[in-house]
Structure 1
Amino acid sequence: MSNRYWFYADRGQQQGPFPEAQFRDFIARGMVRADTLVWTEGMAGWQSAGEIPGFFSPAARSPSTPGRMPAMANGDGGALSIDFEILEFVGRFLLFIFGVIFVLPLPWILVSNLKWLTSRTRVPGRPDLGFTGEPMGILLYYLGGVVAIIVLHIIGGRSTNFLSFLIEIALGWAALRWFFANLSSGGQPLGLSFSGSYWMYLGWNLLGALATLTIIGWAWVYTAQTRWVYRNVDGTHREIVFKASGLEYLWRAVVCIVASAFIIPIPWVARWMMGWLASQTVLVERGAYAEA
């Protein structure tokens, strides 16, 4: 039995992914017919299930009707999604605060939280998303950065503050490279890498810092920076697109800030915001997406 995962189109909506054993059960129950469009990783486009060898008898097969991946009801056939229980989030958040306070446990807590968060993320065509990074992979960089920042703050002065900023940006850039390199699907490495340069990443962060002076401009810088990050992810057959606008991000951020002032709603607004950010990240055929 193949270990592939399958998608099928039902009334214009993409369903899946489903393991092949379950997919064959759908065929036996009549949920997937010979003329149903289906797709799995490695296929150039969607095809009728009857054209896939081994699913239907020759008499039941319909003429080939290859097509593009159908869009979901919201128009984003390749949109990511994320969901988690509120109590899970609260526990993870408190664990992160513990790591920040005591410093040394933070790499282990960050890795644990990343493994948890990726397991709650759904990516079309990539079943069982996971994170395989380990704390030792970043421990030396983390400790070196912490020590350098502490020393610079002890020395003091404006120039040392700027050097501290450069180190923090370097750690963030290295973390991006480490994160994408350790993503997996179905227990297998995805083979992704982040090729964006440190200097471009630094430039985006400097622009973001300057944009805060305008009060609202940072939202547009954030969306543009996110698009730049996705454009520089190598190793994926599909293009990763962040389609949100600066205005859409801004008003949601304002809602989160206001709601968080009351403390108790924080987990709910965090899930709402993270779910929206995931839904704005879509996987499309390369060259098929044009920004409005």
Structure 2
Amino acid sequence: MEENRTVALTFTGGALASLGYALLCMVLSVVVIPAAWGAVAALGWWCAAVRFSDGTRADFTGRAGKIWPLFAAAAFLALLPSLATSGMPHGTKASAAQCVLAVALLPLDAAVKLPIYRWTIENIRLTPGGSARFSGRYAPFLGWVLLFTVSIVTVIGWAFVATAMVRWVCRNTEGDGWGVGFTGSGWSLLGHTALWLVGFLLIVPIPWVLRSMARWWTRSLVVIRHEPAGAIFS
């Protein structure tokens, strides 16, 4: 028999570093080609800033040179609706065209992002514990993406879909003797998002808002260690 032991996560990164890595990712994504290098830097920093309640250490082992075409494709797809309508007069028609094109690109966008998520998860190495395996498939992933897109029009429904989607990702993530869980709720995400939006509007608190976002998502994750019965209390 096995017993499950829950390991809590805490984010210890600073506010200015949170802003710096967010700006780095944003700028490199706009440039498109070097987007992967920004993501790798941010993921390495995040792993180094996470503390586990049992002393586990996380390291990011991914290299941008192996994945950059997918990151560049994702960045290009994000910019494509705006680029495609750049010659249209600004207004309702241009905005509607951007929305239609963005929705039409969702299946392709999901096909690009799923291997990025798999690569990201499988390159986070725990000590002890090793790297994880991600078994999520394209069809359910696309379903979650489509559901999230539809839920945006409900104003509040997106938060519940987002947290449910993250739980799906966690259920499909496992390592040797451990798994991942997500404890965040839709209501908590909604409440925090309202506060984050106020912080963004005030501009000055943005670094602390970004740190708060990283803290919320990190502490909502747990590592579940599967151990032989009795080992927990030995």
Same fold (TM over 0.5): yes
TM-score (norm 1): 0.64
Q: Write the mapping of 1:186-205 to structure 2, written as runs, cut at 5 A.
A: 186=127, 190-205=130-145
When the two structures are aligned, how many residues end up with a matched partner?
214
2:106 counterpart of 1:165:
yes
Identity of aligned residues (%): 28
Contact 2:10 2:52 in 1 (8 A): yes
CA deviation string 1:205-245 (max 9, x = no partner): 11111111111011111111111110000224233221222
Quote the Cα distance in structure 1 between the aligned partners of 2:9 and 2:160.
Answer: 21
For 1:225, the equivalent position in structure 2 comes to: 165
2:193 counterpart of 1:253:
yes
Q: Write the mapping of 1:95-106 to structure 2, written as runs, cut at 5 A.
A: 95-106=24-35
Q: Identify if the C-alpha distance between structure 1 residues 103 and 191 changes in structure 2 by more than 3 Å, giving closer, same or farther.
A: same
Quote the Cα distance in structure 2 between the aligned partners of 1:282 and 1:157.
Answer: 38
Cα deviation for residue 124 of structure 1 reads 4.1
The letter for the 1-side match of 2:107 is L
Quote the Cα distance in structure 2 between the aligned partners of 1:177 and 1:203.
Answer: 17
2:70 counterpart of 1:137:
no
For 1:183, the equivalent position in structure 2 comes to: 124
Quote the Cα distance in structure 1 between the aligned partners of 2:77 and 2:161.
Answer: 28
Contact 1:177 1:194 in 2 (8 A): yes
Cα deviation for residue 201 of structure 1 reads 0.9
Q: Identify if the C-alpha distance between structure 1 residues 282 and 151 changes in structure 2 by more than 3 Å, giving closer, same or farther.
A: closer
Q: Identify if the C-alpha distance between structure 1 residues 236 and 265 changes in structure 2 by more than 3 Å, giving closer, same or farther.
A: farther
Contact 1:79 1:279 in 2 (8 A): yes
Quote the Cα distance in structure 2 between the aligned partners of 1:279 and 1:158.
Answer: 33
The letter for the 1-side match of 2:39 is L
Quote the Cα distance in structure 2 between the aligned partners of 1:185 and 1:120.
Answer: 13
Deviates more, 1:164-173 or 1:176-185: 164-173
For 1:107, the equivalent position in structure 2 comes to: 36
Q: Write the mapping of 1:72-151 to structure 2, written as runs, cut at 5 A.
A: 78-125=7-54, 127-144=56-73
CA deviation string 1:78-98 (max 9, x = no partner): 111111122222222222232
Q: Using CA pairs below 8 Å that are at least 6 residues apart, which structure has the higher relative contact order?
A: 2
Query: In structure 1, the residue corresponding to 2:223 is in which secondary structure?
Result: strand
Quote the Cα distance in structure 1 between the aligned partners of 2:55 and 2:191.
Answer: 31
Cα deviation for residue 170 of structure 1 reads 2.0
Cα deviation for residue 154 of structure 1 reads 4.5
Higher gyration radius (CA): 1
For 1:272, the equivalent position in structure 2 comes to: 212
The letter for the 2-side match of 1:86 is A
Out of 153, 167, 185, the position equivalent to 1:213 is 153
Deviates more, 1:149-158 or 1:201-210: 149-158
2:163 counterpart of 1:234:
no
Q: Identify if the C-alpha distance between structure 1 residues 99 and 130 changes in structure 2 by more than 3 Å, giving closer, same or farther.
A: same
Quote the Cα distance in structure 2 between the aligned partners of 1:237 and 1:100.
Answer: 36
Query: In structure 1, the residue corresponding to 2:8 is in which secondary structure?
Result: coil
The gaps in structure 2 that reach 5 residues or longer are 86-96, 227-234
CA deviation string 1:146-171 (max 9, x = no partner): 66777886598988544422222222
The gaps in structure 1 that reach 5 residues or longer are 1-43, 46-67, 70-76, 287-292
For 2:92, the equivalent position in structure 1 comes to: none
Q: Identify if the C-alpha distance between structure 1 residues 108 and 218 changes in structure 2 by more than 3 Å, giving closer, same or farther.
A: same
TM-score (norm 2): 0.78
